[in-house]
Amino acid sequence: MLKTQPIVRAQGKGIPALGLGTWTLENQECIDIVEEALHLGYRHVDTAQAYDNEESVGKGLQKAKIDRENIFLTTKVWFENFEPSRLKSSVEDSLKKLKTDYVDLLLLHWPVFDKADMRDVLDALMKVRQDKKALTIGVSNFTTRQLQQAQEHCDNTLVVNQVEYHPFLDQSAVLKKVKEHDMALTAYSPLARGEVFENETLDRIAKSRDVGVAEVVLAWLRSQDQVIAIPKTTSKDHLKSNLKSLDLKLSEDEIEEINKLKRPDGRVIDPDFAPDWD
């Protein structure tokens, strides 16, 4: 089922538009899913220090026996490691667990700067890139204001803001801001942690196309410029169906119907340390 992956370009860098999210995947299940995803044709894998599965992801990458240069690998620095010297050592630890000399993208996971200044953290992040332990850098869960500040400090070299994004959550402000800076928006929890499967509109569109709801949602995300999706699954069948979303092109009317599903309470990820959202 190997497919040619659509590529999203940001700051001149190419990123596969569909990736594998690994949040909550652990141990052998994580190893097997990563290996199977790569065998099916996925070339983008996302993990994080906070997921506590980098070692399992690394084993999955190793078992798949795909040339490293053909895989786009992302990990994220947890905010407890934002102090510059800790950031550096935490990245080195992540690379050991992932069994690689570098990641393709390194993100700051949440904008929590209680014990470190944002500028110092960003300087440390840029130093990791300078040392070629991360080919590109970015952020996750940054508001538009924070993103503007970060980009100005980094001379507009951040390539991604990874945020929650699905049909029930309006992220138009963030999407506008990333486009202003030639960045990509990576959508985590693109299926709203399963809530999309209970929606009548999405179900009707899926049935009319003889596809699954997940395929419809992922096709909707892909229809938007500069958007990448990283759905997580524990099912090998769902790996295949998510990949099939690359073949689905929604009509303008279907896209507009889905656009109308946004609601004020649509956010499903909102920890107590989250910023004041846009």
Residues labelled as active-site residues: 51
Residues in contact with 139: Cβ distance below 8 Å, sequence separation at least 6, in sequence order: 107, 108, 111, 146, 147, 150, 158, 160, 161, 162
Alpha helix ranges (H) inside the chain: 27-40, 54-64, 84-98, 118-130, 144-153, 172-180, 200-209, 213-222, 236-244, 252-259
Question: From CA 127, how far away is CA 154, in angstroms rounded?
Answer: 11
Q: Determine which helix (DSSP H) or strand (DSSP E) holds 108, and give its type and residue range.
A: strand 103-108
Q: Annotate 112-123 with DSSP letters as a single string.
A: --SSS-HHHHHH
Q: 3-state class of 226 per DSSP?
A: coil
- Cα angle: 44, vertex 48, 51; to 5 degrees: 120
Question: Residue 231 corresponds to which tokens in the numbers above?
Answer: 């759905």
